[in-house]
Every structure is written in structure tokens, then in C-alpha cells.
Structure 1
Amino acid sequence: MKTRYIDLIDQTYEFPQNEFTLDGANQLCFHGVEMMQLIKTYGTPLKFTYLPKIGENIQMAKKWFARAIQEHDYPASYNYCYCTKSSHFKHVLDKALENDIHIETSSAFDIEIVEELKKSGKIDKDTYILCNGFKRDRYIQNITRLINSGHKKCIPIIDNYEELDLLQNGISENFEIGIRIASEEEPKFEFYTSRLGIGYKNIVPFYQSKISENGRIKLKMLHFFINTGIRDTAYYWNELTKCLKVYIDLKAMCPSLDSLNIGGGFPIKNSLAFDYDYQYMVSEIINQIKSACDEAGIEPPHIFTEFGSFTVGESGGAIYQVLYQKQQNDREKWNMIDSSFITTLPDTWAINKKFIMMAINRWEDRYERVLLGGLTCDSDDYYNSEQHTNAIYLPKYDKDKPLYVGFFNTGAYQESIGGYGGLQHCLIPQPRHILIDRTKDGAVTTKILSEQQGSGVFLDLLGYRDKKEVGPFSEEIATLGNPVYSNHLQN
């Protein structure tokens, strides 16, 4: 009878996989990085970002679109934009921008990040800056400053009728804009139409009344996005068809319109059983756009995407130690981790999001069914189900044999939603966070982005001390195998 954890994984999934393998001691590796070695070096709880994955995903998407464009003899270009709200960190933007991409922004401070990137030479005047979101004074002012400075490829995407006048009042020269379509949501949603953008039926009248005779403004782009993302469903294809009808109607009266932004929405792997045919979806999107335009007798548009989670999500991970097991009744065993899900992986609590979860070590041991509990005194601080098994199975708890658990593909949104660097629920400290990269010859390098929060940070934020403590950031660099942190660890 096969009762070891390694047998469970082998029987349930195709394993190993591209990013998940085992080392010689049957301990987990992520993209060839030995997770137990990270633990030896840095301890737990620990968050990490594997930087090479960012570029890999960008290049894969570019290849899928290039193949589809060639397959369908599509006459226009493809432009990859990164949706910065997924992760604003400098190390993420620096790595993404190495791959000849553009940027989509969501709020006022995004533009100030763009200006810093321009100063450092990371982006230039040929980089598209697509400005989405509901725009208030600071955002409008920053957009106008960027355009007035000569960045002609900054394109505000109009979200409401008032924005056009606000932009005109601040921008000194002619400029280009886009319009966002307020898509209709799936029937299961609590509302029928997205709060973002302008309704399908109102876009053409808006263009005719406010833009067509305005000599200062050119409509360049139509923006389309739905909350459920790019999926092979009747709902998605129906919404894309409605979007294309608006594009075709606008193009007939607006020669400057030449671009269609289909937004983001590529899913990322949330299970070892994840199955999604990216190439098919890209090819079918290109095919439908070209077919609709050919039928209408118009030139197909340049394609823009705004992939956020797809760009950065699969680069992130979190590692915890199981501190203790509580047997609360005959059926439920609670494995208590050395951190909190609410603070470190807030999407597990806020939207019941599932991430890939596996044991890091002890794969040769027998397994048991458990629940995972966080350290806060909050009944919602737990994680109890994998995406497709509705249960968690881990090697059996043994107080004399430390057990470590990894959550993977956590790189999008978790730091910003969790309030990186700020107060945390029940004052559970934010974990140490490290960056993992590779040299040109493939060697693994690691660098501390931030240390685990100390009590002084919380006391300062809460107003108990007048003098500010030095922030939690560190430039310390470590090489795997040279411990900078001591932890009671057994393999």
C-alpha cells in the first residue's frame, strides 16, 4: 500500500513538472532552486520572488502572438504591456522592462514611477504608457505633465465623460486617447455592467459629440476587458464579438483609430492539474478579430494586452514551518504555521483564492489530512482546501521532525493588498522577503529585499514612539549555503 507523501503526489498529478522537481533527498525544488537550502539560509517564514520567471512569461506570450499573427497572416502588430498594479516593486519593473514591453497604469502615483523609470533610462519616448482607471485631480495632473514633457505615447484611456475636458484643460498640445468599454458581466455577478468605462451603446455617440470635430484629440485605441479573464467560454467570445462591432462602427468614422486593447486576464497556474491552451486562445482571438475586420472591409487593429498576474504571479512563493498540531476533534487536525494567511497571502482570505501548496521536505514520510491555521486570533485565518481535491494532505506531523510547507505562484497583488511594510493583523510581522535571480552562467543568486518586521516598526506606525525606526529594507546579499539566519532545522 502506497501511503507516502511522494506516492500521493505521483498518483494524483503528472509529476515532476517544469517548475517543480525533487532533489536527491526527495525535497522540493522550484525552477531548480532547492527550497530547503533557502530555509537553511534564511529561515521561515519566508517570501521570495524568482525573477527569471517574469521574463520567461513575457517571452512566451510574445511567441504565442507571433505564431498566431503568422498563422492568420495578420497585418498589424502586437504590443505587450505590463499592468503595474499587480506589483509595483522596482525589481519587478526592472526585470519586465528588459523584455521590450510597455506599461499600463491605474492611478496617480503610477505616473511618478514612470517618471523615475524614464530618469533611469529603463523606458523612453517609444514606450507606450496606457493610463487606465477612474481619474481624479492628481492622476489628471500627472498624466498632463507626462504628455506636456513630450511623451506622446502616453495614452489616457477615457473612463468617464468628464475626463476628456479635464485632460484638454491641462494638455498644451494635440494628444491621443483611448476609450474603455464598460463590459457586461457574467450572469453570476452581483451587477450587470462594469463600473469601469463607457457603455457599448454610448461610445459612438460620445465620439461623435465630443471627439470627431475636436482638432486637438485623436482617438487611437478601444479598450476591452472582462473580470473573468480570457477563457474559452461562450460569454467571453460573445463579449469580444460585441467589442469588435463597436470597433468596426467607430473605425468607419474615425480613421485615427488603429488599436484594440484586449486587456489582461491570462490565468496562471493554481494547481498541479492546471490545464489551459494559451496558444489556442491567442490564435482564436487573432482569427476572430481578423475575420470580423475582413468582413467589414477595414484594416485589422494593432493588438495590445495588459498582462499583470500572468507577468509576475508565477514568480512568487511563501514558505512556512508547521509549529504545532492541534487535534480539535476526532476528524480535524490543525497544523499551525509560523505566520498568518490573512497578512501574507490575503487573497486566500479575501476572495478564497487557491495557490499551489506542497510540502517542502519529508516526501518519504506517511501523509495525513489536515487543516492549516495561521497565528492570528481570527477564525478566518486558515487554509483548508486545494483547488481540485477539497482537502490538504501533508506528511504526518512529528514534533521532532520539522515540516515546511510552500505556497507557489503568489507573486501578484499579495504585497500591496497585505499592506507591505505597514501594520499587519494582530501585529503578526511581515516575513523576510528575498529576491532570487540567476547569473548569465545560470548560477543562483539571492538578495534580501526586506527583513522581517520588528516591533519598533509597529510601535512607530501606531504612534507609541516619536523617533522613527530605520526601515525594514536591507541591501545584504547572500549566497545559498552561507547562512545569514539561524533556525532549528533538521532535514
Structure 2
Amino acid sequence: MKNKYIDLIDQTYYFPQEEFTLDDNKLLFHNIDLMQLVEEYGAPLKFTYLPQISNNINKAKSWFKKAIEKHNYGGQYNYCYCTKSSHFEHVLTEALKNNIHIETSSAIDINIVNNLISQNKITKDNYIICNGFKREAYIKNIADLINGGHEKCVPIIDNYEELNLLDEAIDRDFSVGIRIASEEEPKFEFYTSRLGIGYRNIVPFYNREIKDNEKVTLKMLHFFINTGIRDTAYYWNELLKCLKVYIQLRKICPTVDSLNIGGGFPIKNSLAFNYDYEYMVDEIINQIKNACDEAEVPVPHIFTEFGSFTVGESGGAVYEVLYQKQQNDREKWNMINSSFITTLPDTWAISKRFILLPLNRWNDEYERVLLGGLTCDSDDYYNSEQNMNAIYLPKFNKNKPLYIGFFNTGAYQETIGGFGGLQHCLIPTPKHILIDRDENGEITTKLFAEQQTAEQLLKILGYND
């Protein structure tokens, strides 16, 4: 009878997979022995596998390069990293090794850009695409960057007032983009995005505010929808509506030469994940070229702003199962030595699912369980995989410690969870490890942050001077 955990995985998925393999009953992630990591650093812990950031950037670049060549597309492709997905220095440093550009969301993002400029990691050849609703500090920082000679800083106009605010603060010629307020999917809670300017209002806005302003050049049209880039009638319909606006603008404004299609590439959230990235890129390029050729206007340069896709698959979290509680005749609760609410807040906030696998004991029998966090909050739990309404793990045995890993957690979890700050029920933030490879391809590890201490939390709370 096949009742071992490895049997369950073999029967349910294609396994091993590109990033997940087994060695002597233990899970390897990109050939990294995670149990060895636990033995060295303990658990709970977070980790970032830096090479995966570059891997994903270069995959996307290759897909766009192939599609552009296939369709004889006349524009260039520019990969931007959406900083709000993870602002950490080690993430930006790795990403910028790959000749990319940056998309910002708030005033302090520009402070990060200035820091990277001072280290020569960003130069005047890098585009800085400034999104978000802009007020005084953000306007000032953008203006300082442009006034300092960074001509490839392109603020994206989000509302009617921003152009005048930028015009007052910037003392030289500058380029801007306009964000389209896309219509949301029918099942969404509202009809139109709060971000940007409505489809019908963009051309009148250009004619009224930009056309006769000799100081301002309209360079870019920005398009993004919350559901991301997916092969649905809704996505293709919104893209075509965006292209109609681009074509209208291009006929009266020859300087608008770029289309920013935002972010939205999904990342792997289960071993059953299936998404044809290459097809989607090919079809996007094809749709844009066909629409422009039919209208007899030049195709735009393409910008993307991939955030989760850039950094998500580099991250992981490791926990130890401390104890099992059987609360009734059916439900077994495996209690972890941390909290889902604080370390993987999206599991609580938006019921997001990540890849969950044990690190050890793959040859043991398995059981169906629920996972509980350490806080005294009823919402601190994890109860299902993305592709099945259940969790199966090797059977709990108090004499055989079980370690579990959540994978592809690298986007948003630290910033949403308030890295380094207060945590729910004062469960400390775990230690964080950076994993890299040296010039010979050998694994290297570095401690980025220790687990939070009681003293640090008390100081935040005002108990320690």
C-alpha cells in the first residue's frame, strides 16, 4: 500500500520539478539543502534566494525578445522592477545587475533611488517610472531627481492636479506618462480603478493641459488591471481599449512612443501551477502590432513593471511543527513555532496560498491536518493548498521533529507584515537569511537579520528608554 508522503506527491503531481527535488528523504530547493539551513540557523526563519530574481528577469526578457523578433515588432522592450513588492537593498541590488529599470510608488522610493545612484547601481540610463497618487513630498523628490539631470525619470499622471504640481516644482523640460483608469472585472467590488484618468478623458486632458505646454512632453501611456495578465476575454478587451487610446493619442501627439502594460505576471502557487508565459507575451506583442498596423501608427516601446514575478519566487519561510492538537474526531491541528498573520500576512488578509512542503520525513506515512499559528487569534491558521481543499503532511511524531516550508513568499510579506516593527501578540519576526551563489556556483549564506528580541519590541512600545 502506497501511504507515504512521497507516494502522495508522486500520485498527485509531476515530481521532481525544476526547483524542488529530493535527496535522502529531504527536500532540496534549487539544490539547497534546507534541513542543513535549519541545522545551521534554526527555525522559524525566512530566506531569500537571490539568483532566482535574476533568473526570472532574464526569462521575461527572453520571452519578449523572441516575440519581438517573431512579429518583426518595431519597438523596444524595457523591464522595470516594481519596488513596492520588496524594497530591500539586497533585492534591488540583485535586480539591477540585469540592465533593468525601476517603478516607484511613493516619496521614500525616490530616497532609495538616490541611495542607489550614489552607489552607481542606478545611472541616468535607467528609467525611473513614478506611479502612485502624488502629494508634496513625492512631487518634491521627483522634481529634485529631474532637476538634477535624470531625464529618464517619468512621472505618471494619476489625477488632473498632478501635472500642475510637477510643472511648478520642475525647472526644466520633462516627460510624463498618463495612467488609464481601467475598468475592473465584472465580479470586482467597484467598476473603475481609483488610479489614473478615465479612457474618455485622456485625449481631452492632453489637448487641454499638455499639448501647448512647451515644457512638458507626453511620452507614455500606462495600463494596468488588478487581475493581472491572464488569458481571459476581460484582459484582452481591456488591452484593446487601451490600444484605442494609444492610437488616438499617437495620431495627434507623435512624442507618445511608449506603452506601459504594468505588472501582473502570476507566480507559482502550487505544484500543479500551469501558465504559458511565452504564449501570453507573444499574443500581447501580436495584438499591439496588429492594432497599430491597422491604424497606421508606429508601434510603441513596451514597458512592464513586474514586482511579484521578479521577487516572489526567491522567498521562503521555514517553521517547525511543535505539537499536534486533536480538537474533535476529524480535525488535527499542527501548531507551528511562529504566526501566519505576522510572517505570511497575505494568507490571513486575502486568503493567498503558497507552495507548502515538508522539509524532511518524506518517507513517513501522511495525514490530513490543519496548521495553526502561535497567536491567540482565531484567524491565525492555514487550512488548504491552492489546488486542493486540504493539507497533507507526514504524521506528527513528537520524537521525530517535522519542519515545513512555504515557498515563493518573497513579494509583499515583509512590508505588509511590518518587518522590524510590532507584531500581533508580540510574536517576533523570524531571522532572515540571504542565499546566493559565488563565482563557482557554490551556495553561500548570510544572516541578514536576527530574530526580533523582547528588548526591541519593548523599546517600540515605549517601555525602554
What is aligned with 1:300? 299
Letter paired with 1:432: K
Cα deviation per residue 1:86-124 (whole Å; 9 max; x = unaligned)? 000000000000000000000000001000100000010
Question: 2:35 and 2:189 mapped to 1: Cα distance?
Answer: 44
What is the CA-CA distance between 1:404 and the residue it aligns to? Answer: 0.5
- Equivalent residue runs for 1:349-368 within 5 Å: 349-368=348-367
> What letter corresponds to residue 15 of structure 2 in structure 1?
F
Structure 1 unmatched runs, 5+: 467-491
In the TM superposition, what are the counterparts of 1:13-412 in structure 2 within 5 Å?
A: 13-23=13-23, 25-412=24-411
What is the distance in 2 between the residues matched to 1:309 and 1:363? Answer: 30
Distance (Å, rounded) in 2 between the aligned partners of 1:389 and 1:442: 36
Q: Return the alpha-carbon distance in structure 2 between the equivalents of residues 46 and 335 of structure 1.
A: 18
Q: TM-score, normalised by structure 2?
A: 1.00
Separation in structure 2 between the aligned mates of residue 175 and residue 200 of structure 1, nearest angstrom: 24
Q: Equivalent residue of 2:180, what SS?
A: strand
Normalising to structure 1: TM-score of the pair?
0.95
- Partners of 2:331 and 2:121 lie apart in 1 by 52
- The one-letter amino acid of 1:321's match is E
1:181-202 deviation line (CA, Å, top 9, x unaligned): 0000001111000000000000
Distance 2:45 2:462 in 1: 28
* Cα distance in 2 between the residues matched to 1:180 and 1:210: 15
Letter in 2 for 1:323: L
| Deviation readout 1:409-452 (Å, 9 max, x if unpaired) | 00000000000000000000000100000011111000000000
Q: Residue in 1 aligned with 2:419?
A: 420
Q: What residue identity is the alignment partner of 2:216?
A: I
Equivalent-residue separation in structure 1 for 2:377 and 2:462 (angstroms): 24
Q: Distance in 2 between matches of 1:83 and 1:388?
A: 28
Deviation for aligned residue 1:259: 0.2
Deviation string, structure 1 residues 425-484 (Cα, Å, up to 9, x no partner): 000000010000001111100000000000000110000011xxxxxxxxxxxxxxxxxx
User: 2:328 is paired with a residue of what secondary structure?
Assistant: coil
2:7 equivalent in structure 1: 7
2-structure distance, mates of 1:388, 1:28: 20
Aligned length: 465
Whole-angstrom distance in 1 between the partners of 2:215 and 2:429? 49
Alpha-carbon separation, structure 1, partners of 2:258 and 2:387: 39
Q: Distance in 2 between matches of 1:186 and 1:350?
A: 20
Letter in 1 for 2:67: A
Provide the rounded CA distance (Å) in 1 between the counterparts of 2:97 and 2:56. 12
Distance 1:389 1:124 in 2: 47
Which residue in 2 is equivalent to 1:480? none
Q: Using the alignment, how far apart are the partners of 2:312 and 2:452 within structure 1?
A: 23
Runs of 4+ in 1 over 3 A off after TM superposition: none
Query: How far is 1:52 from its partner?
Result: 0.3
**Shift in Å, 1:26:** 1.6
Q: CA deviation at 1:249?
A: 0.2
**Structure 2: unaligned runs, 5 residues or longer:** none
> 2:370 & 2:34 partners in 1: Cα distance?
22
RMSD after superposition? 0.4
For residues 48 and 203 of structure 2, the distance between their equivalents in structure 1, rounded to whole angstroms, comes to: 44
Equivalent-residue separation in structure 2 for 1:314 and 1:85 (angstroms): 15
- What letter is aligned with 2:129? L
| Separation in structure 2 between the aligned mates of residue 39 and residue 125 of structure 1, nearest angstrom | 42
State the alpha-carbon separation in 2 of the partners of residues 118 and 5 from structure 1: 50
Residue 283 of structure 2 aligns to a residue in which SS?
helix
Distance 1:387 1:115 in 2: 40
**Could you report, residue by residue, the CA deviation over 1:288-334 in whole angstroms, capped at 9, with x for unpaired residues?**
00000000001000000000000000000000000000000000000
Q: Distance in 1 between matches of 2:388 and 2:281?
A: 30
Which residue of structure 2 aligns with residue 486 of structure 1? none
Once the two structures are superposed, what CA deviation does each residue of 1:72-94 show, in whole Å capped at 9, x if it has no partner? 00011000000000000000000
Question: How far apart, in 2, do the equivalents of 1:424 and 1:106 lie?
Answer: 25
**Distance apart, 1:389 and its partner CA:** 1.1
> Could you tell me the percent identity over the aligned residues?
73
Q: Give the secondary-structure state (helix, strand or coil) at the position aligned to 1:260.
A: strand
The separation in 2 between residues aligned to 1:41 and 1:456, in whole angstroms, is: 24
Measure, in 1, the Cα distance between the counterparts of 2:362 and 2:430: 25
How far apart, in 2, do the equivalents of 1:373 and 1:281 lie?
Answer: 38
Q: Secondary structure at the match of 1:134?
A: coil
CA distance in 1, matches of 2:251, 2:140: 33
What's the CA shift for 1:337? Answer: 0.1
The CA distance in 2 between the partners of 1:128 and 1:183, in whole Å, is 24
SS at match of 1:329: coil
Please state whether the residue corresponding to 1:178 is helix, strand or coil.
Answer: strand
SS in 2 for 1:182: coil
